[in-house]
Amino acid sequence: MTFLYLGGDAGGGYGGSYLEPNLPLSAEERLIDRAQLLTLSPSEMTVLVGGLRVLNTNWDGARQSATRADLVFGSSSELRALAEVYGSADAQGKFVRDFVSAWSKVMNLDRFDLAPRQRGG
């Protein structure tokens, strides 16, 4: 599945909340790096991580727990503001629309039969 490229070891729990020993980057740095490689905007990364959490897509059915990658959403004012928008009581429709859009973008990034605009690139 394409969402695995976000990295279970970097995504704050949706793919796993573990890190291999001796990695050169921290979990939060790996999350941002993977999002950048996938050409995700801050809002797309935020809604994808949040949506995958809502869908409980954790590695091997592991129990959800906070990770270092979650700290990015608290320490970055931009990501915190986005998380607050998506977490507000009246944002369910926006959250779903934005999640579907971001998910479709990631799923189409390797579709070379599509024009770059259709792939989201």
Interval 97-108: pLDDT, tens: 999 999 999 998
34-46: per-residue pLDDT in tens? 999 999 999 999 9
Residue keyed to tokens 């989201």: 120
CA distance 75 to 72: 5
Residue ranges covered by each domain of the chain: 41-55+66-121
Tokens for 64?
A: 């959800």
- Which pTM was predicted? 0.74
Cβ-contact 80, 72 below 8 angstroms: no
22 Ramachandran zone, left/alpha/beta (phi>0; psi -120 to 50): left
